[in-house]
Amino acid sequence: DIQLTQSPSFLSASVKDRVTITCRASQGINSYLAWYQQKPGKAPNLLIYAASTLQSGVPSRFSGSGSGTEFTLTISSLQPEDFATYYCQQLNTYPLTFGGGTKVEIK
Amino acid sequence: EVQLVESGGGLVQPGGSLRLSCAASGFTFSDYWMSWVRLAPGKGLEWVANIKLDGSEKYYVDSVKGRFTISRDNAKNSLYLHMNSLRAEDTAVYYCARATLYLDSWGQGTLVTVSS
């Protein structure tokens, strides 16, 4: 199975900070990677797909990059509504797998 | 507007069975792969199963193989997850999701609690 390792698992940041989350795959997954945001008690929301394509309706402060085994999600200027948990997911190979999550909290 | 509404969750004893349903609307259900994903208390998201447009291909995470069955009824715009031999570690909120390869629409989830 392909393991996805997210780092950090927790980060504390302030509004307007630039935030970067990393997702490393145990083997190459081309660009079959997605990023989701989940808030407590809510369903996950697709932010980025194909590693770097912004899902319709998602603010442009979110961006994704990478290919192969290393990927990043960047929030250029953190907003109050961005405090949430973020997950990467690989869709290159079954079983599909998620990273362990990164919880972004207010400093 | 795409809508996915899960139902069927509840409290079940270890070894018991449950069937989850997901009612889809706002899109042509038979044109999409569908998925089940779960979130256990204090844990991260875990993909559970996928099913092809016509139900001809199904994929599962190893931990549920042989115990869970994903199915669909395109005439009823419905997705199902039949869960047998339930274990405490299956306790989670279960989400259905539309898969355009990526999971672009999700339901609000249904809680399954496995406990005696």
pLDDT for A106 beyond 90:
no
Name chain B contacts of A43, Cβ cutoff 8 Å.
95, 106-109
Q: In this complex, do A46 and B108 lie within 8 Å of one another by their Cβ atoms? A: no
Residue B44: per-residue pLDDT: 98
B109 in contact with chain A, both atoms CB, cutoff 8 A? yes
**What average pLDDT does range A42-53 have in this prediction?**
98
What's the rounded Cα separation, in Å, for the pair A14 and A80?
A: 9
Which residues make beta-bridge pairs with A90? Answer: A33, A97
Residue A34 to residue B103, Cβ atoms within 8 A: yes
**Which whole number is the average pLDDT over A73-80?**
97
Contact (CB<8Å) A49/B106: no
Question: Measured between beta carbons, which residues in chain A are less than 8 angstroms from residue B59?
Answer: 94-96
Average pLDDT, chain A: 97
| pLDDT value at residue B63 | 98
Please give the mean pLDDT across all residues of chain B: 98
A107 has pLDDT over 90: no
> Residue B113 above 90 pLDDT?
yes
d(CA A54, CA A57): 8
What pLDDT sits at residue B101?
85
Q: Percent of chain A having pLDDT more than 70?
A: 100
Q: Which of A100, A36, A26, A101 is nearest to A68 (CA)?
A: A26
Closest CB to B47 among A42, A45, A95: A95
In chain A, which ranges are E strands? 4-7, 10-13, 19-25, 33-38, 45-49, 53-54, 62-67, 70-75, 85-90, 97-98, 102-106
